[in-house]
């Protein structure tokens, strides 16, 4: 919406963006879910927007967009800033300034009233030119929700194209934007969740300007690893958990397209880590968030984890464990009799790996996956809704006060499981591995609230312990998979079981060492004496 005059406060644009199949555009506009929400007649117009930048695209690289848009006879100049920390699950929140202008020329005097005056001023001195243009046919449907939340549902179809020197590059645009005007952003997620049940929708992580930039600067996507959520030291517990949920969702979303289109097993690995992190985060949310809102998301995450687990297990078995085992037995004197059995095992494993990948891709491509992400996004958008008064007060406590007793309990629970792990029963090591994983996720979630110098050594010792326990678990899983593939009584399965046991014996010293290092590490959340 245009904002006349120089803004005195930094206004925000909050919108949920989703791709839509072109053939579903008309069906969406007539969807019965929208009828009771319409507060005015829809409006269809053609928007032609030109994005300006320097030749080296310094604004885009700084996350700033400078746009001039023609809407009928009106011209509007817009400056948008980078996404803030509240983005995720298709939602983005950005600082946005808009002014009506007299014609098709930029008004540089407006730059001075934005927080991006330095970037814009430098770009102006170097010269800004048209870089991308979008031509969009937009249908805007004003919505009013029962809680007085107001939003605009924008149905966009058109294209983005490059301007200036070089070949003219184009890409189609078919998307919806649900833009919050006033009220609760959770309503945006709820509407999208309901629509996704029968309209083919998908997450759209890129803005129109970012898609223009990508036309000129295509990059080879890479699997995305976990990153710390931005948690200011004085953040409230509810806001911190919401930020962690969004952070976990960002990792899940970022690996979805790669998992669907690329055979690199790392996509599956990193998405699975994102799912595990989000499940761990929701176990924290149970202490303050409404059970009726958390539990459905936990159920769906369990479904997704079960879809990804076999794909990851067979990736590891086929690409890491089986080659390591074959290399080990090749050095032995009795390798020749096992060779035919191992070749047959590799063939069966490859077939099961393909089946598991197909199943994982089907899950991630399904409407159920999108609805899961949107439901988790709604949870993060309104963390304090429908909770008892006592829990609501707990969510308002400083996050550090919330984190300290939780981390202390999990630290003690792991210490209680650590007696002589190298020679303990497999079930005891498995329990310790799960406790280490739960502690590590919680410690990494809340580490940004504490001084980095204090967290570094503890997290390093905990990560080493979890990885060591994970290596023992990988060997046990490999023996189990070999039994499933070859038959429990087959020579290859027996050889795998023996190898796994020998591997554990060889790592006993390493496990003792990593356990001692963890036991000696000072918890970073402990208050100074």
pLDDT tens readout for residues 71-87: 888 999 999 998 776 56
pLDDT tens readout for residues 17-40: 999 999 999 899 999 999 999 999
Q: How far apart are CA 371 and CA 451, in angstroms?
A: 37
Judge whether 37 lies within some domain.
yes
Residues 6+ apart with CB under 8 A from 276: 305, 437, 441
Are residue 491 and residue 361 in the same domain, yes or no?
yes
For the cut 80, the answer to whether the pLDDT of residue 4 exceeds it is: no
Neighbouring-strand partners of residue 43 = 140
Q: How far apart are CA 493 and CA 508, in angstroms?
A: 23
Judge whether 104 lies within some domain.
yes
Are residue 146 and residue 283 in the same domain, yes or no?
no
Are residue 449 and residue 376 in the same domain, yes or no?
yes
Judge whether 346 lies within some domain.
no
Q: What is the pLDDT confidence band of residue 157, given thresholds at 50, 70 and 90?
A: very high
Judge whether 7 lies within some domain.
no
Report the share of the chain in percent with pLDDT over 90.
Answer: 64
Q: What is the pLDDT of residue 527?
A: 78
Tell me the mean pLDDT in the region 66-72: 93
Q: What is the pLDDT of residue 98?
A: 93
Q: How far apart are CA 239 and CA 397, in angstroms?
A: 10
Tell me the mean pLDDT in the region 326-334: 69
Q: What is the pLDDT of residue 280?
A: 94
Are residue 267 and residue 203 in the same domain, yes or no?
no
Indicate the range of 2-11, 182-191, 413-422 predicted with least confidence. 2-11
Judge whether 355 lies within some domain.
yes
Residue 35 DSSP one-character state: G
* CATH number of domain containing 480: 1.40.20.10
Are residue 189 and residue 255 in the same domain, yes or no?
no
Are residue 208 and residue 94 in the same domain, yes or no?
yes
Number of structural domains, the chain?
2
Are residue 494 and residue 457 in the same domain, yes or no?
yes
Q: What is the pLDDT of residue 389?
A: 54
Q: How far apart are CA 253 and CA 269, in angstroms?
A: 13
- Cα 125–chain centre separation: 38
Encode 441-510 in three state secondary structure. Answer: HHHHHHHHHCCHHHHHHHHHHHHHHHHHHHHHHHHHHHHHHHHHHHCCCCHHHHHHHHHHHHHHHHCHHH
Q: What is the pLDDT confidence band of residue 391, given thresholds at 50, 70 and 90?
A: low
* CATH number of domain containing 170: 2.40.320.10
Whole-number average pLDDT of the chain:
89
Q: What is the pLDDT confidence band of residue 3, given thresholds at 50, 70 and 90?
A: very low
Judge whether 529 lies within some domain.
no
Question: From the CB of residue 299, how many other CB atoms can be counted at a distance below 10 Å?
Answer: 10
Neighbouring-strand partners of residue 65 = 80
How many C-alpha atoms does 194 have within 13 Å on its Cβ side?
10
Q: What is the pLDDT of residue 467?
A: 92
For the cut 70, the answer to whether the pLDDT of residue 139 exceeds it is: yes
Q: What is the pLDDT of residue 7?
A: 41
Tell me the mean pLDDT in the region 150-154: 96
Are residue 202 and residue 251 in the same domain, yes or no?
no
Indicate the range of 3-17, 198-212, 233-247 predicted with least confidence. 3-17
Report the share of the chain in percent with pLDDT over 70.
Answer: 94
The four Cα atoms 418, 422, 424, 427 give a dihedral, to 10 degrees, of: 80
Q: What is the pLDDT of residue 87?
A: 63
Contact 16, 194 (CB under 8 A): no
What angle in degrees, to the nearest 10, is found between the helix axes of 367-381 and 186-195? Answer: 170
Angle among Cα 224, 227, 228 to the nearest 5 degrees reads 170
Give the domain-ending residue among 182, 216, 250.
Answer: 216
Q: What is the pLDDT confidence band of residue 240, given thresholds at 50, 70 and 90?
A: very high
Q: What is the pLDDT of residue 287?
A: 66
Q: What is the pLDDT of residue 88?
A: 64
Q: How far apart are CA 351 and CA 117, in angstroms?
A: 58
Q: What would the DSSP string read from start to end of 39-77?
A: -S--EEEEEEEEEEE-TT-HHHHTT-EEEEEEETTEEEE
Are residue 464 and residue 397 in the same domain, yes or no?
yes
Judge whether 229 lies within some domain.
no
Q: How far apart are CA 328 and CA 337, in angstroms?
A: 14
For the cut 60, the answer to whether the pLDDT of residue 373 exceeds it is: yes
pLDDT tens readout for residues 165-193: 888 999 999 999 999 999 998 899 999 99
Give the domain-ending residue among 216, 246, 281.
Answer: 216
For the cut 50, the answer to whether the pLDDT of residue 104 exceeds it is: yes
Tell me the mean pLDDT in the region 399-419: 93
Q: What is the pLDDT confidence band of residue 420, given thresholds at 50, 70 and 90?
A: confident
Q: What is the pLDDT of residue 385?
A: 59
Closest CA to 370 of 166, 156, 203: 203
Tell me the mean pLDDT in the region 133-140: 96
Are residue 154 and residue 202 in the same domain, yes or no?
yes
Are residue 514 and residue 372 in the same domain, yes or no?
yes
Tell me the mean pLDDT in the region 412-420: 91
Q: How far apart are CA 126 and CA 313, in angstroms?
A: 53
Question: From the CB of residue 74, how many other CB atoms can be counted at a distance below 10 Å?
Answer: 11
Are residue 391 and residue 434 in the same domain, yes or no?
yes
For the cut 90, the answer to whether the pLDDT of residue 128 exceeds it is: yes
Tell me the mean pLDDT in the region 259-285: 94
Domain range for 317: 237-336+351-520
Judge whether 101 lies within some domain.
yes
Tell me the mean pLDDT in the region 291-313: 94
For the cut 50, the answer to whether the pLDDT of residue 484 exceeds it is: yes
Q: What is the pLDDT confidence band of residue 387, given thresholds at 50, 70 and 90?
A: low
For the cut 50, the answer to whether the pLDDT of residue 2 exceeds it is: no
Residue 8 DSSP one-character state: S
Q: What would the DSSP string read from start to end of 289-322?
A: S-HHHHHHHHHHHHHHHHHHHHHHHHHHIIIIIH
């Amino acid at each position: 919406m245009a904002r006349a005059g120089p803004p005195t406060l930094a206004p925000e644009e909050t919108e949920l963006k989703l791709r839509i199949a072109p053939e579903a555009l008309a069906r969406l506009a007539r969807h019965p879910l929208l009828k009771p929400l319409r507060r005015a007649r829809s409006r269809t117009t053609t928007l032609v927007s030109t994005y300006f930048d320097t030749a080296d695209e310094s604004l885009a690289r700084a996350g700033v967009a400078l746009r001039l848009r023609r809407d009928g006879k009106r011209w509007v100049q817009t400056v948008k800033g980078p996404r803030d920390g509240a983005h995720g699950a298709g939602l983005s929140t950005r600082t946005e300034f808009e002014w009506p202008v007299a014609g098709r020329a930029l008004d540089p005097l407006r730059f001075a009233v934005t927080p991006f005056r330095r970037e814009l001023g430098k770009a102006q001195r170097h010269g800004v030119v048209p870089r991308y243009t979008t031509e969009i046919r937009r249908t805007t449907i004003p919505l009013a929700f029962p809680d007085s939340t107001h939003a605009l549902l924008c149905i966009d179809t058109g294209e983005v194209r490059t301007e200036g020197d070089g070949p003219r590059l184009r890409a189609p645009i078919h998307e919806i934007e649900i833009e919050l005007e006033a009220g609760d952003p959770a309503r945006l997620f709820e509407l999208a969740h309901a629509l996704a049940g029968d309209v083919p929708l998908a997450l759209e992580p890129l803005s129109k300007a970012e898609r223009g930039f990508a036309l000129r600067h295509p990059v080879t996507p890479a699997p995305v690893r976990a990153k710390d959520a931005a948690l200011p030291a004085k953040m409230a517990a509810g806001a911190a958990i919401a930020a962690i949920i969004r952070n976990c969702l960002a990792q899940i979303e970022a690996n979805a397209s790669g998992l669907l289109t690329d055979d690199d097993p790392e996509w599956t690995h990193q998405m699975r880590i994102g799912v595990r992190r989000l499940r761990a985060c929701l176990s924290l949310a149970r202490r303050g968030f409404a059970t009726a809102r958390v539990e459905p998301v936990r159920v769906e995450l369990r479904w997704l984890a079960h879809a990804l687990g076999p794909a990851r297990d067979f990736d590891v078995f086929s690409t890491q464990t089986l080659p390591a085992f074959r290399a080990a037995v090749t050095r032995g004197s009795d390798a020749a009799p096992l060779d035919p059995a191992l070749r047959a095992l590799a063939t069966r494993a490859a077939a099961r790996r393909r089946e598991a990948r197909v199943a994982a891709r089907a899950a991630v491509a399904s409407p159920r996956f999108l609805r899961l992400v949107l439901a988790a996004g709604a949870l993060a958008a309104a963390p304090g809704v429908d909770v008892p008064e006592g829990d609501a007060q707990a969510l308002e406590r400083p996050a550090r006060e919330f984190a300290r007793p939780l981390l202390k309990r999990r630290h003690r629970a792991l210490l209680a499981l650590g007696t002589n792990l190298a020679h303990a029963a497999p079930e005891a090591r498995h329990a310790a591995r799960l406790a280490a994983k739960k502690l590590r996720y919680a410690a990494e979630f809340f580490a940004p609230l504490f001084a980095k110098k204090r967290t570094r050594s503890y997290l390093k010792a905990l990560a080493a312990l979890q990885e060591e326990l994970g290596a023992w678990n990988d060997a046990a899983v490999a023996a189990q998979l070999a039994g499933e593939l070859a038959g429990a009584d087959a020579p290859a399965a027996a050889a795998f079981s023996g190898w796994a046991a020998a591997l554990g014996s060889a790592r006993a010293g390493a496990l003792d060492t990593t356990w001692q290092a963890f036991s000696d590490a000072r918890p970073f959340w402990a208050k100074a004496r």
